[in-house]
A = this chain, B = another copy of it.
Amino acid sequence: MAISNIRYGEGVTKEIGMDLQNLGARRVCLMTDKNLSKLPPVNAVLNSLVKYGINFQMYDNVRVEPTDQSFLDAIQFAKNGEFDAYVAVGGGSVIDTCKAANLYAASPSSEFLDYVNAPIGKGKPVTVPLKPLIAVPTTSGTGSETTGVAIFDFKELKVKTGIASRAIKPTLGIIDPLHTLSMPERIVANSGFDVLCHALESYTALPYNQRRPCPSNPINRPAYQGSNPVSDVWALHALRVVAKYLKRAIRNPEDREARANMHLASAFAGIGFGNAGVHLCHGMSYPISGLVKTYKPKDYNVDHSLVPHGLSVVLTSPAVFAFTAQIDPERHLEAAEILGADIRTARIKDAGLILADTLRKFLFDLNVDDGLAAIGYSKADIPALVKGTLPQRVVLPEDEPKLHSTS
């Protein structure tokens, strides 16, 4: 089990120039997206880079919900720049794009599909050394600053897939709650739903000691090992924070305590699922996002249709946990209690229904779209959604060795 370095505190972003000096960086690639490039988080980074005399180039063409093509554009920029360090300022889209750029720039003879997860790509292990990457998350959801995963839409197949290797995990995540103060309401909500599902899914994922067959050599153990005593600590803690603070963080942009706690919970849940894996909500979310028709969410300033990742994940969650509870009803009931259910008289066989009802109430209070129909899908889309879900075993705790690991 490998865990990331994080630094937390209001204003700690201003130290990033010193961090890059300490790393001996001489040519830094700063990645962000067009909206963020004019907002306070990027300004804070720019000020620090200038103050400490760091030579950098900025790439602000990251696409929100990136595609294979948008990854390739960023990779080309990274190859041209011959950078010796990377800084990613943004949500999961930016951080994931920067991980891919760092990887392929360090491995210039690789084909794009070499490192993409099988069966879509070849899922080759990463053996080249990467440059340091400092991630500065500006949303409170993906936990990408703590994980070795980079997700994108594979346009040709209309499916989300990704790259997964501990090698692409950021060197340092800078968790600065100041950056959450400029987040619009629906971005707080949708990214918070991602935290909620990371916590619930990793806590209810297949236990690490029930994965079969075990790799014969520990070096072949996957990053997504299944739920385990370490990931459980993070998952439960993150779930408690979501239960206590998510509503406050959504409703009041001035509630610094709530927004700070959600920002940290995002990283905590990331450490949890980054070592345990997730399951059905995430597996089904990729076609829900990838097959988007005309849905345009409030508060997202983009020129294309989009189902935000957190929304695509949470929409199926009541149905998912009603179904998965049979495997471990105690954990499902425990999760329901943390989210506010009174379980004193609950029967263990009702655990799934209780958690599903608790989630429906929780989401209803937060004005979540009412199911797949509300974002433009009909019954006729189900075969395509199923077809897009089946290749997503990669998010599950893995049966087969595929990722290199040090522990």
Question: Which residues on A are within 8 Å of B, measured CB to CB?
Answer: 1-9, 15, 18-19, 22, 172, 209, 217-219, 228-230, 233-234, 237, 264, 268, 406-407
Which residue of chain B lies nearest to A406 when distances are taken between CB atoms in the complex?
A: B5
A177 to chain B: closest CB distance in Å?
11
A345 to chain B: closest CB distance in Å?
22
Q: Pick the contact of A7: B6, B218, B233, B237 (CB < 8 A).
A: B218
Complex CA gap A292/B80 in Å reads 66
With known contacts A229-B264, A233-B233, A5–B15 Cβ distance under 8 A: no
Interface centre among A7, A209, A233, A234 (most CB of B within 10 A): A233
Q: Pick the contact of A237: B3, B15, B233 (CB < 8 A).
A: B233
Complex CA gap A349/B8 in Å reads 31
Which residue of chain B lies nearest to A8 when distances are taken between CB atoms in the complex?
A: B229
Complex CA gap A242/B15 in Å reads 38
With known contacts A18-B217, A22-B217, A234-B233, A8–B172 Cβ distance under 8 A: no
- Ordered nearest first, which 3 A-B pairs have the shortest CB separation? A3-B3, A5-B407, A22-B219
B5 in contact with A1 (CB, 8 Å): yes
A22 in contact with B172 (CB, 8 Å): no
Chain B residues closer than 8 Å to A218, beta-carbon distance: 7, 15, 18-19, 22
Complex CA gap A15/B405 in Å reads 14
B172 in contact with A407 (CB, 8 Å): yes
B407 in contact with A6 (CB, 8 Å): yes
A352 to chain B: closest CB distance in Å?
26
A6 to chain B: closest CB distance in Å?
6
Chain B residues closer than 8 Å to A209, beta-carbon distance: 9
A407 in contact with B7 (CB, 8 Å): yes
A268 in contact with B233 (CB, 8 Å): yes
A235 to chain B: closest CB distance in Å?
11
Would you list 18 pairs from A and B whose C-beta atoms are within 8 A, ordered by A residue? A1-B6, A1-B8, A2-B5, A3-B3, A3-B4, A3-B5, A6-B230, A9-B209, A15-B218, A18-B218, A18-B219, A19-B218, A19-B219, A22-B217, A22-B219, A233-B237, A233-B268, A237-B237
A129 to chain B: closest CB distance in Å?
16
B1 in contact with A230 (CB, 8 Å): no
Which residue of chain B lies nearest to A12 when distances are taken between CB atoms in the complex?
A: B218
Which residue of chain B lies nearest to A232 when distances are taken between CB atoms in the complex?
A: B237
A8 in contact with B233 (CB, 8 Å): no
Which residue of chain B lies nearest to A175 when distances are taken between CB atoms in the complex?
A: B229
Which residue of chain B lies nearest to A209 when distances are taken between CB atoms in the complex?
A: B9
Complex CA gap A7/B209 in Å reads 12
Chain B residues closer than 8 Å to A228, beta-carbon distance: 8
Which residue of chain B lies nearest to A265 when distances are taken between CB atoms in the complex?
A: B229
Which residue of chain B lies nearest to A19 when distances are taken between CB atoms in the complex?
A: B218
Complex CA gap A231/B263 in Å reads 17
Chain B residues closer than 8 Å to A172, beta-carbon distance: 406-407
Complex CA gap A7/B172 in Å reads 22
A44 to chain B: closest CB distance in Å?
15
Chain B residues closer than 8 Å to A19, beta-carbon distance: 218-219
Complex CA gap A22/B229 in Å reads 25
A274 to chain B: closest CB distance in Å?
12
A1 in contact with B7 (CB, 8 Å): yes
Chain B residues closer than 8 Å to A9, beta-carbon distance: 209
A404 to chain B: closest CB distance in Å?
10
Chain B residues closer than 8 Å to A1, beta-carbon distance: 5-8
Complex CA gap A83/B228 in Å reads 34
Which residue of chain B lies nearest to A237 when distances are taken between CB atoms in the complex?
A: B233
B237 in contact with A8 (CB, 8 Å): no
Which residue of chain B lies nearest to A16 when distances are taken between CB atoms in the complex?
A: B218
